[in-house]
A and B are shown apart, each in its own frame.
Chain A
Amino acid sequence: MIILIPFLLLSAVFSRTSILNVYLPETPSGEQKQEKAIHSPGPLLMVSILKDGFVINDGKKVLAALPTVRGQHDFEKLSSMLLKVKERVPQQEEIIILSEPEIRYETIIHTMDASRETSIERDGKKETVSLFPDVSIGEVGEITFREVLQKQ
């Protein structure tokens, strides 16, 4: 037992790793994006990560623009906005996350977390609600939402 305990303590894993599945990134050219739009049953839902904030759009019009708060991306607001979208289209599972080239990897992962699931308070209890678990990643194309953000 004296040998076993140090051995197990050494091999104990304190930081557990896990994985996030993503679908193929789309090429910046618009062709594949349109193909995707035909394939997906629900409406297209896109979150663009810009340096100055998030823009949520459904392929045709902008649903929301969330500027950064003191230089930080507002993940909580993003989750609450996506929750509203989810309530309108409950069967929708897919979301496309588009990012600017210089956005940090960590920010993208957090955006994926925010769009996959969120916890809401119902009757004083915290519940985890799945939003859009099928995440695709791509680069922000030619359409920029800078003006949309700046108007806010």
Chain B
Amino acid sequence: MIPLSKRLRRQRPMQPPKLNLTAMVDVFVVLLIFLLKSYSAEGNILTTDKGLELPVSTSNLPPQVTLTVTVTQEAIYVEDKKVEEVKTIHESPDLLIPSLAQELKYQVERARFIAGFNPTVKFEGKVTILGDRGLPFLVLEKVMYTCSTTDFQEISLAVFQK
């Protein structure tokens, strides 16, 4: 009878185990195809802040490249520029938000100016509103009203797809 330690050594020589590459490559290829399929070349049209939670909806219309007005719990942004605090809007008795209207007018002028030189770009008056799900309707109504007074007639609301 050979001692146990000797027997083990004889049967299983100490060698590092080999990685089975073929199987791993198979898994990776499947993963790669899946990711390539789900990858959209356009990227995110709408980016959302950390403090912004969009409401969830059953709608599946794709977002378009438009001017964005972001309304978080704290402030209103046109594109990335902060224009007004939500608190002051909530307290004001008027429907029109003057600072937002001013910024939107500037955006309209800029878009028209560009359209004047480049006939492929047209000013269509489209705006996408990204609103936080906890906002009261009053704030949203004021934002929409201000948009409509400054030539933005087509309003879309951004939502998360269910």
Binding site for B on A (CB under 8 A): 1, 4-5, 8-9, 11-13, 15-25, 27, 49, 99-106, 108-110, 112-113, 116-117, 137, 139
Contact across chains for B60 and A11 when beta carbons are under 8 A apart: no
Which of B31, B56, B141, B160 contacts A139, CB < 8 Å? Answer: B141
Contact across chains for B32 and A103 when beta carbons are under 8 A apart: no
Which of A24, A113, A139 contacts B155, CB < 8 Å? Answer: A24
Give Cα A103–Cα B54 distance, bound, in whole angstroms: 16
Contact across chains for B61 and A21 when beta carbons are under 8 A apart: yes
The contact sample of 17 A-B pairs, CB cut-off 8 A, is A1-B29, A5-B31, A13-B40, A17-B44, A17-B46, A17-B54, A17-B158, A18-B59, A18-B61, A19-B61, A19-B159, A22-B144, A24-B153, A49-B137, A108-B140, A109-B133, A139-B141
List residues of B (110-143) whose CB comes within 8 Å of A's CBs. 128, 131-138, 140-141
Give Cα A116–Cα B159 distance, bound, in whole angstroms: 15
Give Cα A5–Cα B9 distance, bound, in whole angstroms: 41
Which of B38, B48, B59, B140 contacts A116, CB < 8 Å? Answer: B59
Q: Which 10 A-B pairs have the closest CB atoms?
A: A101-B138, A8-B35, A106-B133, A109-B55, A19-B156, A106-B55, A105-B135, A16-B161, A99-B137, A20-B157
Contact across chains for A105 and B161 when beta carbons are under 8 A apart: no
Give Cα A137–Cα B141 distance, bound, in whole angstroms: 9
With a cutoff of 8 Å between Cβ atoms, the chain B residues found around residue A49 in the complex are 137
- Given A5-B28, A8-B35, A139-B141, A21 contacting B154 (CB threshold 8 A): yes
With a cutoff of 8 Å between Cβ atoms, the chain B residues found around residue A27 in the complex are 95, 145
Grouping DSSP codes into helix (H, G, I), strand (E, B) and loop, the B interface class, with mixed when no group exceeds half, is mixed
Distance (whole angstroms) from the CB of A34 to the closest CB of chain B: 18
The number of chain B residues touching the other chain, given as a range, is 35 or more
Q: Which residue of A lies closest to B36 (CB)?
A: A8
- Given A5-B35, A13-B44, A20-B61, A105 contacting B138 (CB threshold 8 A): no
B148 at interface by CB-CB < 8 Å:
yes
Q: Which residue of B lies closest to A117 (CB)?
A: B58
Known: A11-B39, A11-B43, A18-B57. 13 other contacts (CB 8 A): A18-B61, A19-B59, A21-B154, A21-B156, A24-B148, A24-B153, A27-B145, A99-B141, A101-B137, A104-B135, A105-B140, A106-B133, A110-B57
B17 at interface by CB-CB < 8 Å:
no
Distance (whole angstroms) from the CB of B52 to the closest CB of chain A: 11
B98 at interface by CB-CB < 8 Å:
no
With a cutoff of 8 Å between Cβ atoms, the chain A residues found around residue B160 in the complex are 15-18
B102 at interface by CB-CB < 8 Å:
no
Distance (whole angstroms) from the CB of A93 to the closest CB of chain B: 16
Give Cα A21–Cα B144 distance, bound, in whole angstroms: 12
Distance (whole angstroms) from the CB of B102 to the closest CB of chain A: 20
Give Cα A100–Cα B137 distance, bound, in whole angstroms: 7
With a cutoff of 8 Å between Cβ atoms, the chain A residues found around residue B161 in the complex are 15-18
B62 at interface by CB-CB < 8 Å:
yes
